[in-house]
Amino acid sequence: MSFEINRKIGKTIMIGGHLISIEEEKNFTRDHEAYGEWRPAQMKIVIDSDLPDTLRNETIFHEILEAITGIYDIRIKHHKLVILSVALHEILTDNCPGAQAPGTGPG
Ligand SMILES: [Zn+2]
């Protein structure tokens, strides 16, 4: 399992046939009281530009799960989505050397 392809494409990810951009915003945490956000109307994930790498990756996975549950209309309590995104991040970082969340590479 690798996110190499997404690193080459740049700061985008395909989910359910939708091209979703992953953008950074300065002071996002301060202004929104969250590290990131899924914006369905814009098909965009926004994350704070100053997060440390591990928190940044974890936040992107969280917002990707927000996008998946939104696009596929999966009903899940937010605290369970938090657990799933932390677990997914942990599995990928522990088992896929060099794996990065989409949107974290150059481009
Ligand atoms: Zn959330």
- Would you tell me which CATH number, out of the four given (1.10.10, 2.30.30, 2.60.40, 1.10.3470), belongs to the domain 4-95? 1.10.10
**pLDDT digit string (tens) for 40-80?**
999 999 999 999 988 988 999 999 999 999 999 999 999 99
Angle (CA) 28-33-39 rounded to 5° is 65
- Going from the Cα of 44 to the center of ligand 1, the distance in angstroms, rounded, reads 14
**How do the domains of the chain map onto residue ranges?**
4-95
- Going from the Cα of 37 to the center of ligand 1, the distance in angstroms, rounded, reads 7
- Going from the Cα of 38 to the center of ligand 1, the distance in angstroms, rounded, reads 8
- Going from the Cα of 13 to the center of ligand 1, the distance in angstroms, rounded, reads 18
- Going from the Cα of 51 to the center of ligand 1, the distance in angstroms, rounded, reads 16
**pLDDT digit string (tens) for 27-45?**
999 999 999 999 999 999 9
Q: How far apart are CA 13 and CA 3, in angstroms?
A: 10
pTM assigned to the model: 0.82
